Structure 1
């Protein structure tokens, strides 16, 4: 039954991706999209793929810094960390958000790092990415505020503001109920804490939570915080360049400037973060909508999104496939890193 529910869940997510893609190309001239794809200068894509490969290498090094800080040891090799990360990205193309767990599981087998500890570093990584992404969103809106405000008022909020106002009371009631339930659950745990501490399952959960927290706060214990910041900035600079340089692959988007590149990066990243397989559908729709703000036709926007997303997906498949073979070829050491020591 559980397997059936899992299959149905991923089938539903895939169906949502398909519907979003269908919505993105609805009513468009497919022959024009095909012609745009055929006339694209794919030399620019080769450059973006090279930059992306460097970005993955930098991101893996940053993750290794977190792992070394969390475990108190540098015994996990860069190759182990890199291969685990790329396999996780490969898994995310099929199983949304499961790639994070899978890469931590692989690192446990190849490098001996406890899953809860490596998962904590991934959570810290995601928190940092969210902070960067929100900063980019603010910068995007500041750079081209008038364009986006006109888009919001003319399309996004047209006829929707009144609906939100009518349902304001309902939203407040739901939020209040959620707060009461959360407070009740917290009170119940605190009241029965001594009894819970005698429960084996509760103690396992506490141990898992401690390992997660060690990973989350690994950033605070980094010895070379400047290097960590450099790799963070380098990774996001690569993301920006891949978005911007792809403009030059198409005559229609080649005139766009750095502000448009920043906007495509920002909203495209939100599309990739959606819980669907590889951002399929959500990325394409958000990028197409963003390019509409800059005067690019729907056909030109979807062609850009198809090429940009397709190229990066093929790169992940290639690099992730190689890393999968490399990870499977390694023999697990059967050890765990605990407080800086390797134990059997």
Structure 2
């Protein structure tokens, strides 16, 4: 039991510690001149565009909360919109401290205040995550089609070989095929759990197309991800050197940032580094790339903290009769 607690503790501490280390490393590896430039870019940024970005972030939260009701209604649960919104906000806030804890807390919050069984609430969140992964891979495909040459050149410059990448991708697909065949035929307890989990995910995805309001669900899905992309894109107008970059380049940087967000608690440390690395491939200075990354990360993190704390305080008051 003690070993399990220790492993859980490591899962919480290590990503946060790595993020803090990267912040320190980024600071110490930047020259004094570049640090002054970064501070100046942040200080002199046009915060009108940052405010619009924050508004788009708020709209994505609202849309996600509203979309959630489409998954709950077919099971017979009519949930108050504000409870949905506060549960979503609390989940984002919790993920800043403990990665992936937000999904559990979101289902628990709804179960506490709307009497939706935890398993059912969590099942709808899993279905949402599957759709979100599909949307992310769709954006990756669009980015690759728009910036194929630059991405390949960048990978080769970093030591990746195109033929090796193809061989690796082919080997991965073959390995995945063998793994799936093995899981299907195996009766091992772990294989059975994986099979049940995958079937649950597939059932969640298929259930979306059985909803009465499936078109509204799809509209909100595209709206949410549209807000994600455009709240990132519009920040470019706050940093002069970045403002001329086209949509394709910004989309590549957005995807790099999305992966950085999952690498540590809320992307701390990783996010500005990932953005600056992508921008450097397009001739943008490290100072401008870092400034953009920090402006984007700080503004959205403050929004998540503000909405999360407000929801923690207000949700028991709003549901005081329960």
1:269 equivalent among 253, 258, 264: 258
Q: Name the structure 2 match of 1:16.
A: 18
Q: 1:316 aligns with which of 304, 312, 318?
A: 304
Give structure 1 stretches of 5+ with no counterpart. 194-201, 334-344
Cα distance change on mapping 1:156 and 1:231 into 2, 3 Å: farther
Tell whether 2:282 aligns with 1:300. Answer: no
Match of 1:198 in 2: none
- CA positional deviation for 1:311: 0.2
Structure 2 residue matching 1:93: 3-state secondary structure: helix
Q: Does 1:144 align with 2:162?
A: no
Residue 237 of structure 1 is matched in structure 2 by: 226
For 2:216 and 2:302, the matched residues in 1 are separated by: 30
Partner of 1:47: 52
Contact 2:124 2:204 in 1 (8 A): yes
1:216 deviates by 5.4
Residue by residue over 1:240-299, the C-alpha shift from the partner in whole angstroms, topping out at 9 and shown as x without a partner, is: 11111100001111111211222222221122233x211212322221111112211111
Q: Which has the larger radius of gyration?
A: 1
SS in 1 for 2:158: helix
Map 1:151-170; keep pairs closer than 5 Å: 151-157=154-160
Change (3 A) 1:259 1:129: same
State the shift of 1:300 in Å: 1.0
Structure 1 moving runs of 4+ over 6 Å: 206-214
SS in 2 for 1:223: coil
Does 2:251 match 1:249?
no
1:105 maps to 2:108 = yes
Is the contact made by 1:120 and 1:214 (CA closer than 8 Å) also made in structure 2? Answer: no
Question: CA contact under 8 A between 2:127 and 2:201: conserved in structure 1?
Answer: no
1:32 paired to 2:37: yes
The answer to whether the 8 A contact 1:117-1:212 is kept is: no
Checking the alignment, whether the CA contact within 8 Å between 1:122 and 1:216 is kept in structure 2 is no
Q: Does residue 9 of structure 2 align to residue 7 of structure 1?
A: yes
Q: CA deviation at 1:327?
A: 2.1
Name the residue aligned to 1:342: none
Q: What is the total number of aligned residue pairs between the two structures?
A: 311
Shift of 1:57: 0.5
Deviation for aligned residue 1:209: 10
Q: Is the 8 A contact 1:264 1:287 kept in 2?
A: yes
| Structure 2 unaligned spans of 5+ | none
CA change 1:118–1:294 in 2 (3 A) is: same
Deviates more, 1:281-290 or 1:244-253: 281-290
Cα offset, 1:130, TM superposition: 1.0
1:197 aligned partner: none
Rounded to whole Å, the distance in 1 between the matches of 2:290 and 2:114 is 42
Distance 1:287 1:266 in 2: 9
Secondary structure of the structure 2 residue equivalent to 1:136 = helix
Identify the match of residue 78 of structure 2 among 61, 75, 80.
Answer: 75
Residues in 1 aligned to 2:184 and 2:54: alpha-carbon distance in whole angstroms: 51
Offset from partner CA, 1:130-189 (integer Å, 9 cap, x none): 11111111111111111111101111427x959x99xx9xx99xx69x959965993245
Instruction: Tell me: CA distance 1:8–1:305, structure 2 relative to 1, closer, same or farther (3 Å).
Output: same
Over aligned residues, Cα RMSD in angstroms? Answer: 3.4
Q: Is the 8 A contact 2:86 2:308 kept in 1?
A: yes
